[in-house]
Amino acid sequence: MTDDFDADAWRRELKTQRDRKDRFFAEHRQSPVPPEERDDFDGLDYFDPDSDYRVAATVHGGDPEPVTMDTTAGTEVRYLRELTLSFEVSGEDRELAAYRQEGDDQYFVPFRDETTGQRTYEGGRYMEFETERDLSDGDEIALDLNLAYSPFCAYNETFACPLPPEENWLDVAVAAGEKAP
């Protein structure tokens, strides 16, 4: 993506993040894995890291628009659509909307793709990112689809997780990030 991208350092950091998450899921009292299943938990299943899924995304902004998302519990949750991210993946131009709730610093990017319900969680996957500055129309950011993860409700139905709105359904397979539990 950029000339100063260090693929080896990126892979090491991704492995470190995945190892940390596996330990959290196996040991932490707030793990979504039910306590009675933690002894048998041997880590999450991931697609192999692929730098082709670390893409340059162009930011398109505008006035934040309220969006209501259904959840896995049959309720609704409200977000503001603040950005659209345009990028190329698998040789095709794609877009994903990025949302925030009032007061959040992180952008939330829920999505579905052609792996959803087959190799990845049936309810879709999530990504989150934070920026050090406000983003403007036309800015470019690194969007790493290798960081896509399954929401907690994939592991435990007591969680109510937002379902990706139709505008974030990609008609391409994103073989990156976490696989189905």
119-143 pLDDT, tens digit per residue, is 999 999 999 999 888 899 999 999 9
Looking at the DSSP bridge assignments, the partners of residue 66 are 80
Q: What is the band of 3 on the pLDDT scale with cuts at 50, 70, 90?
A: low
Give dist(CA 156, CA 149) in Å, integer: 15
Q: What's the CA gap between 151 and 154, in Å, rounded?
A: 6
Task: Say how far apart CA 140 and CA 136 lie, in whole Å.
Answer: 9
CA distance 78 to 22: 30
CA distances from 73 to 69, 150, 152, 153 (A): 11, 16, 12, 9
What is the tens place of the pLDDT at every residue in 27-61?
999 999 999 999 999 999 999 999 999 999 999 99
